[in-house]
Structure formats: C-alpha cells, structure tokens
Structure 1
Amino acid sequence: NRCEFLSEQLEQTVVLNCDGLEPQDLLDEGIDQADLVISVTNSDTTNILSSLLAKHHGAKKCITHINSPGFIPMLGKLGIDVPLSPRQVAANMILRFVRGGGKIVNVATLMGSNAEVIEIKVPKQEHFIDLPLKLLDFPQGSIVGAIIRHNQVIIPSGNTKLQPGDNLVVFFTQQALSDLESLFDA
C-alpha cells in the first residue's frame, strides 16, 4: 500500500496510517517533535483537524491536502502553514500555459480574490535592461513584489534596475492583465 511504499522511500520520515484525530496516537508517534506534518487523507475535515492537532502539540509546520478550495482562505488564520489543493495546482498549470508560454515562469491565483501573481522573465530587449522600475509603464492594478536575480530574491524600489536574466514577480488584478501582457509582449 501507499504508506508502506512511502515509509520505505522516506527513510527519516514517520508515516502514519490512521485517521490522525486521536491526540494520544499522534503524541505516541512524536508529533510534538515533528519538523513537518503532511495530512493527506481523502477527507478535508480529517486533514484540517489532524493538522490543527499537530500544530497544537508542537509540530513546526503543516501541509494540509484540501479538495474544497473554499476552505483555503480561512486555513492560514487557523495556523495551517500550507494548504495544498490539487485542483488549484492544476488550475495554475493551465493558467501558465494559457497566459503565454516561454516568458511565463509561474502563475498562481490568489484565492478569494480577482488577483493573480505571475513570475515573468524580463525580456532581453534593450529598453528593459538597466531601466529603473519606476520608468516602466506598469498598469494600474499591478505591482512588482520581487525580483529574482541569480536565485536571490530582491524586494525592489522604484529605483531598482532590471538586469538580463531577472524574473519579476508581479501581483495584478484581472483588469490589469491585458495591459501587463502588452508591456511584456507575453
């Protein structure tokens, strides 16, 4: 079964095959010392409650499998570190494909809003290179949240200049999408 396979593959990992809702079972398995707990049953309720129990008893981080995206906005407020929705992952992959192929590195929707975040390669066109961000005509409803340069994250100011190989992380509303695509010819 899956638990046996995972247990064999993940040598420094404790794999539990239980409902995860009995606090003493979790404590007996050392949940209070866990660096990471991943709850992946077929039940959103069980995954959420077992993650909350794990956090309550001292687990450092929790990844929680969620089938119903409606739960996701409240989970951060409850202390769940990473709600993981396979549907959302698939939707983001489709968005990446639809949004523009080569220049688009990653796309994600921000649950419960009409906003998205996109990671886009800076074109090697001369008018982008060594140009401060404040001189680029970013559309209203968009903001550059970060620049990824040589695997380092830079929180930019308006004076930050773009370099070849940079990736921009841009937050934007749906209303800004077409102007943002035009700016980068995505």
Structure 2
Amino acid sequence: MRVIVVGAGEVGSNIAGDLATDHDVVVVDIDGERVDALSYSHDVLTVEGDGSDVDTLEEAGIAEADMLIASTDDDSTNIVTCGTAGVFPETFTIARVKRPQFLRTWERGDRTFGVDFMVCTDLLAAETITGVIGLPTAQDVDTFAEGLVQMAEFELPEDSPVVGQTVQEADRFDSLTFAAIVRDDDIVIPRGDTVLRGGDDVVVIGSPDSVRSFSEAIAPEQSGPRDIVVVGGSEVGYQTTRLLEARGFSPRLIEHDPDRARWLAEKLPGTTVMQSDATDREFLERENVGDADALIAALENDQKNLLAGLLADRLGTKRTVAVVDTVEFADLFEAVGIDVAVSPREATAEEITRFTRGRRAENVSLIEGDRAEVMEFEVDADGDAVGCTIQEVAETLPDGVVFGAITRDGELTTPRGDTVIEAGDHVVVFADADAVEDVTAAL
C-alpha cells in the first residue's frame, strides 16, 4: 500500500516509522530541515512542500496513493489537505484534529470535509486516561467484541502478592488469559510454570470483570478510585472530566483562570470546580488533595503537569496520571515518579497506525509501540479455520501467538486447545509482530 503522510512532526514521524516496514510511505512537510532529518532516520521518501497544495500532493504521488494521512499540528491545514486529496477519490483520507467540535461535525455527515476517518487528539487522550484510571497499576486498556472482551497491560509492583507466583498459581480468575509478559525489553509468552516478577508488564485478555479482579489482586490496597482530582481545565482536562462524570464519578477539577472555571462549572454539573493554582501547595493541602485516590494533571504545559503530579504524590495521592505533550518525555515522567504518563501525540499516532492495520481486522491494539498486537477477527463462513480446534490452528502458526478470547452469539468463551472455531466467532488474539501476518492469513 502507498501511504502519504502530511506532517513530519512527532505524530507524523511516528506514523511513518510504524507503517514503513510494510508499506511504501511518502512524507510531506513544509519544513525542509524536518524532511531532511526524516529521510535519514526512516526508510521513507520525502517531499518538501505544502501538503494542502494539489501540486505538492501530485509530486508525492497522490494519484497512485491508497491512503493520505494529514497529521500536522494545525486542524484547519489537516482538513483542507484531506479536501484537496478529494480530487483523487480513490485515496482514503485520515485527518488528525485537536478540537472535538470538528469530530462531532464529521460524525454527523458522510465523508464531511472530504475526510474518510478522523482522529481527535484531545478526546483520544481523555479516553485513554479514563480507561486506565479505574484499574490500579494499568498502563494500557482496550476493549474488543463490543465490550465483552478487555485487554489490559499491568505493571507488577515489587510488593505485589502475585510476585513470585507462577502463572498457573496467579491464574485463578474466570475467563482470563495471560497473553504476554514484557520483561527487560523482551516479550515472553507465559506458560503455566512462568514465574511473575516485580516490574513485569503483564498483558491479560478476558472479561472486564475478570480483568478488574486481576487488577485488585495485583494491588489489593489500591481499590478503584472514588475521589478523583483533575488539575487543569484544558480541552483534555474538560473531556476527561466529562467522561468521568459519564462513568458515575463526581470528580474535583482545579482551574486557575476564573472565566474558564466559570464555564467549566456550567458544563460539568457533576463536578466540583475550584478556581486556584494547582501548584499552590497550601491550597492542595487545604483541599486534602493528598487524600485523593487519583490525580490527573492536564495543564497546558509539560513542566507544570510534572510539578503538579509530583507534588500530589508527595502529599500522599495514591495514583498520579499526567498528560505529556512531548512524546520523548513520557518515559522520563514515569521514571521520576508519575504513575502513568499519557501522550496525546503518541496515542494519536498509535490510533492512526492501528486503524490502518485494523482494516484487515475488526479491531487492533498495539503493544509496546508496535512490537506486538492484540487483534480481533470475525471468522468468515468459508475461512480455513472454521471447524478446526484452537490447537490445530495454533500448530500452523509461529511462536508468539496466544488465543485470548472468543465471543459467540454475544457470549464470551475462554479458548482452550479443544475449542472448535465456528463461523461468525469473534476471536481475540495476541501476536508478536513477526507473527501478525500469519495470524491474519489463518483467520
């Protein structure tokens, strides 16, 4: 597939790097230095120019392109670029936007703005935050099979009760599959006698209830949050608080600007909005922020988010989540004490990459960037896997594949070796990156 990526910033560069291994990628950017740097660091072709200009797109080969991804930092530019690409109707267009109002408008029409698929950075970040906030130690959460199946990646604390247990000993939950362990930069496919270690990232697949039960077993002292504080009424902060309200929480939100605080109070009736500086220690102590179960730092500035998160941690807040605009800072944030760092740019790059790959599957979740994938397939009636057992299919696949769940007629089944695959089944599979193509072909 030939893909044109317009925008060579952090998002565009990550997308280009992820797709370049399997596709012909051309990156367009108006900044010559960015283009030159990308041509040396990635196996992609580059074009210097304005991606919203049809002449530039023609130079990039838009007439032969299967897909165009507009991923600059400007919403209007991305929308205009997709509209320009509409001159070539065979090209599928994807636009990245920050403001949810563009997404809401796009959702109301058929190919509005000339965009086939739209990703909203701020809303996606908010969904990522609310996904992990309810599961102690969760680093990533995704759902499959219309919510019947959940995938979660947990970091095991050194003092977790399951550390030192084998997978067989720890696997005492209905409808839960241990899919993988990320350990010292290696991906380990767990067996019954695999011993869990502190610091392991464990990927599990199962029903939401079983995943929640496993989360509680990992850190029994960290029950689901009740008191949640959101710091910063930015668009990400607002969308996160709105989603928390929808899930039945009554969060507290701290916003420094009085006009914005007033607007937030009107829009969020289930939230207590406080107008103050979230880095004011005396204020935080007076409002008992240290007693909160979770604090989400969603200010407009990475440094302030780090400061607010570390200050809350110092005061005793059980869990801190911080928004990180600069992708490479995410690991640093977690290294110095933030429990979970959420990068809107990285989440957007992963979502777009996931969508391009997901066109061959019902749903796809990327693990550790793109080192592995959890994929959902609906089995066709004429598929080769129909009538075969899980063991028979597994024997045709390389190492690094785990069948995590099967849903059939709205019911979840934990797959065993003798489970027979039927037409219409939704099969959720973990696969190492090297095994993805084989799994796709088999299912």
Normalising by the residue count of structure 1, what TM-score does the alignment of the two structures yield?
0.71
What does 1:57-136 align with in structure 2 at a 5 Å threshold? 57-101=315-359, 103-111=361-369, 114-124=370-380, 125=383, 127-128=385-386, 131-133=389-391, 135-136=393-394
Find the residue that maps to 2:385 and give its secondary structure.
coil
Report 1 or 2 for greater relative contact order, CA contacts < 8 Å, sequence distance ≥ 6.
Answer: 1
Range with bigger deviation, 72-81 or 26-35: 72-81
What does 1:8-19 align with in structure 2 at a 5 Å threshold? 8-16=266-274, 18-19=276-277
Deviation string 1:92-148 (CA, Å, 9 cap, x unpaired) is 22112211326231323524xx514333134244725662257423334x3337326
- 2:439 equivalent to 1:183: no
Q: Distance in 1 between matches of 2:296 and 2:372?
A: 26
Tell whether the 8 Å contact from 1:122 to 1:168 is kept in structure 2 after alignment: no
Listed as ranges, the gaps of 5+ residues in structure 2 are: 1-258
Find the residue that maps to 1:38 and give its secondary structure.
strand
Q: Distance in 2 between matches of 1:13 and 1:104?
A: 36
Q: Distance in 2 between matches of 1:179 and 1:87?
A: 30
Gap change, CA 1:84 and 1:3, over 3 Å in 2: farther
State the percentage of identical aligned residues.
23
Tell whether the 8 Å contact from 1:146 to 1:153 is kept in structure 2 after alignment: no
Deviation string 1:8-38 (CA, Å, 9 cap, x unpaired) is 3334434455553232222222212323322
Listed as ranges, the gaps of 5+ residues in structure 1 are: none
Find the residue that maps to 2:317 and give its secondary structure.
coil
Range with bigger deviation, 21-30 or 37-46: 21-30
Give the aligned partner of residue 294 of structure 2: 36
Task: Kindly tell me the number of residue pairs found equivalent between the two proteins.
Answer: 178
Tell whether the 8 Å contact from 1:122 to 1:128 is kept in structure 2 after alignment: no
Tell whether the 8 Å contact from 2:302 to 2:323 is kept in structure 1 after alignment: yes
- 2:432 equivalent to 1:172: yes
Q: Distance in 2 between matches of 1:21 and 1:97?
A: 38
Q: Distance in 2 between matches of 1:5 and 1:160?
A: 58
Q: Distance in 2 between matches of 1:153 and 1:55?
A: 40
What is the letter of the counterpart of residue 115 of structure 1?
R
Q: 4+ residue stretches of structure 1 with deviation over 6 A?
A: none
Normalising by the residue count of structure 2, what TM-score does the alignment of the two structures yield?
0.34
Q: Distance in 2 between matches of 1:145 and 1:2?
A: 48
Q: Distance in 1 between matches of 2:425 and 2:267?
A: 36
Q: Distance in 1 between matches of 2:265 and 2:298?
A: 14
The match for 1:50 among 308, 311, 322 is: 308
Q: Distance in 2 between matches of 1:17 and 1:133?
A: 59
The match for 2:279 among 3, 18, 21 is: 21
Tell whether the 8 Å contact from 2:292 to 2:318 is kept in structure 1 after alignment: yes
RMSD, aligned α-carbons: 3.4
